[in-house]
Amino acid sequence: MGFAPGQFNMIYVPGIGEVPISISGDPVDPIPVIHTVRAAGTVTTALCKMKAGDVVGIRGPYGSHWPVRESAGNDIVIVAGGIGLAPLRPAIYQLLSQRDHYGRLAFLCGTRTPREILYRHELEKWRSRFDLDVEITVDHPGEDWYGRVGVVTTLIPLAGVDPFDTTALVCGPEVMIRFTVAKLRQRGISTDNIYVSMERNMKCGIGLCGHCQYGREFVCKDGPVFPFSRIERFFKIREL
């Protein structure tokens, strides 16, 4: 099942329900299908209780994708907040699979606590590369945390990218997106080149049920990945 980074699948647990979950595997090597699930609602809790051999329903992939191929030649800055890293991981895989097509790669990752850092093993591996800048910060460190402390936006000045030829990929809570976009703009990156992934309620995933409407957009089929300039006029409206 091929997919583009940033797309999602609808995952169904028999009799319980269906949820949209981003794909967090490698688009170059898409089998097995990999999802990162946090037990948050009824369906995801049921998913997290499943054992090897249990069966789920799956349909997809749906939605728009991060402009990874389209950004060849550019510097790339990736900003992830918490579980927002899950839909960005395929983009990192794809970038690294054709590393020489891009300029500088900066990957900035923030979580609330060290416990919530996803894919720790992999992050450490990426951190040891000389062709990828990885910066990690947490809001609330524990006693055993020796890394950076603070919100993810504090990492943005560390990304030594050329603002005129940079593509930014941002995923996290909406409030994090808001401050991140503001900071990226301050650095001179155009909102045409800042891409964000939005979250809304979804029932169908194919633009028919109406739930995911966000202004004029259907997040499921027009998104979830949008150039920020496209949704800018709606972004700061509350309860949209």
Partner 1 sequence: MCERPGNLRQIKVVERASLGTLFEAIEEEGYTIVGPTVREQTIVYDVLDSPDDLPVGWTDEHAEGTYRLARRDDDALFGYVVGPHTWKKYLFPPRIRLWSASRTSQGFEVNEEHRDLPKYAFLGVRACELNAILVQDNVFLKGPYIDPVYKSRRRNTLIVAVNCTQAGGACFCVSMDTGPKASGNFDLALTEVIEDGRHYFTIEVGSDRGREILGRVTGKDATKAETASAETAVSRAESQMGRVLDTKDIKEVFYNNYNHPRWDEVEKRCLACANCTMVCPTCFCTTVEDTTDLSGGQVERWRRWDSCFTTDFSFIVGGSIRQSTRSRYRQWITHKLATWIDQFGTSGCVGCGRCITWCPVGIDITEEARAIREKEPVDTSAGAEP
Nearer to partner 1, 54 or 162 (CB): 54
Residues 6+ apart with CB under 8 A from 188: 163, 164
Mark residue 107 as left, alpha or beta (left: phi above 0; alpha: psi -120 to 50; beta: remaining): beta
Q: Give, as ranges, the residues between 183 and 212 that touch partner 1 (CB under 8 A).
A: 185, 199-201, 203-204, 206-211
Binding segment toward partner 1, per CB under 8 A, in 16-24, 67-75, 95-103, 148-156: 16-24
Nearer to partner 1, 15 or 142 (CB): 15
- For residue 218, the SS3 value is strand
| Residues 130-169 as x/- pattern, contact with partner 1 by CB under 8 A | ----------------------------------------
**The binder of partner 1 chosen from 2, 15, 32, 142 (CB under 8 A):** 15
As a whole number of angstroms, the distance between CA 198 and CA 186 comes to 22
As a whole number of angstroms, the distance between CA 128 and CA 63 comes to 33
**The binder of partner 1 chosen from 95, 181, 189, 225 (CB under 8 A):** 181
Residue 151: CB minimum distance to partner 1, A: 16
Residue 146: CB minimum distance to partner 1, A: 31
Longest dimension (CA), the chain: 51
Residues 6+ apart with CB under 8 A from 195: 66, 67, 167, 168, 169, 170, 225, 226, 227, 228
Residues that bind partner 1 (CB under 8 A): 12, 14-18, 40-41, 54-55, 178, 181-182, 185, 199-201, 203-204, 206-211, 213, 215-216, 218, 221, 232-240
